[in-house]
Structure 1
């Protein structure tokens, strides 16, 4: 993995532990760094979208939010939900998948509405509430429990899988399949 391809800049105090490995922040490694960064980026995009007055910037912000939400959901569905199934069971993994579906549906509804209209703002606030709930649930519940249930080797492998899957999904998002080709929905692997 190249530093320029990370979903964020590697700044002072941050380094890659090995090519394609986990980002190290202040000496602390975590396999979920990509997801945590995406959570911050989602929150920032929602804040900007709520306060943006320029129509063109609002359109760009909405498109960026949709892309990031899609990428983030797919990354969690591929890498986190299989572990969630193993550690907490299928019921909890299905609940998480339903949360992702709700986020996607809200985003699609938002994109169909006229920006700054009453319904658009209501959908945006609902989406923001759902994202905040998702972030809180993941960061203060799911991810710590998963981290505690995995040994050091599994955590390292998870960090590697997240980085590789992120790269693959990013490449696919920049080179979408031709119309009529490719899966309509990303297959979920948490039910295996």
Structure 2
């Protein structure tokens, strides 16, 4: 509690009255403090995602004709998006594998045309609906579950117990519009 108070006070002092920034910063600090990952692991995951995005953008054909997103939780990376063929799918994975700190990659890239803005918007809406349902559930810690939606497929990531994983999957499956739920969890005791 003392640590959280210091973070909030420091944020307020540094931002000198910018209410929106204070609220956002406080929410981020509280979320970070309640995450089962260490602060160092959270920073590492952020760095992995940035490095993956840069590495993929440096591969000309992936940059031009593919849509690849890398999401990292505790060094476990999920690749989602669309590529034109199996060769490009493999190339995206090899490109990301070169990044330090990655423990495992789940390559869920789909071969096909890139999804459009309408589908991306619908995916954002589905993610919000799943997160809201997880937040409302009393028997799981939604702060420890990352929700990623790609073309109506919901991917659930995080450090969770087996019971939390099963409950989260059940919640996500019952959200209208979700076509498939994929577990990318790391299990704790």
What TM-score do you get using the length of structure 1 for normalisation? 0.23
Larger relative helix fraction = 1
What TM-score do you get using the length of structure 2 for normalisation? 0.23
